[in-house]
Amino acid sequence: MEKEYASVLLYIQFSGDPRISKDPELPRIISVLAEDEMRHAEKLADTIAEIGGKSSWHLAPFDRKKTLRESIQRIANLEDEAIREYSALIARLGDRPKIQQALEGMLNDERRHKAQTERILKSHEALLGEF
């Protein structure tokens, strides 16, 4: 859950940066991704409770990046970590179809997020390079 919340914070930090307003579509895309991550955190908390665990709300110190490129790269790295972790959870909880289905939905979202962050890094090279 900590990584979901870290992603939310990074997305919010990025979407609120006035420098990205040069592309009017980018803040909207990032806001949608942040909302997805919040939903994931809520679903993950429900899933943890359903299997008898307790959710952790502890967040590691927030690592504020100096540039937009570093922020987006950090988000892409968190998406990679989420993909690995959800894949492992699905394998471990394969005997629980309802939970597996929820996790597979989140895994697909994370794959989409990863692709979107990579597109942002590539398609906004000039914008991100300015900061």
| Three-state helix/strand/coil letters over 61-92 | CCCCCCCHHHHHHHHHHHHHHHHHHHHHHHHH
pLDDT of residue 106: 92
CATH number at residue 97: 1.20.1260.10
Cα angle 122-7-5, degrees, rounded to a multiple of 5: 175
pTM: 0.79
pLDDT of residue 123: 78
Total number of domains constituting the chain: 1
Where in the sequence is the domain holding 118, given as residue range(s)? 2-59+66-129
Using an 8 Å Cβ cutoff, are 6 and 78 in contact?
Answer: yes
Tokens 């429900």: give the residue. 46
Coil, strand, or helix at residue 101?
Answer: helix
pLDDT of residue 65: 58
Q: How confident is the model over 74-100, as pLDDT tens digits? A: 889 989 999 999 999 899 887 888 888
How far is CA 75 from each of CA 12, 46, 48, 72, 90, rounded to the nearest angstrom? Answer: 11, 24, 24, 5, 22
pLDDT of residue 57: 66
pLDDT, mean over the chain: 81
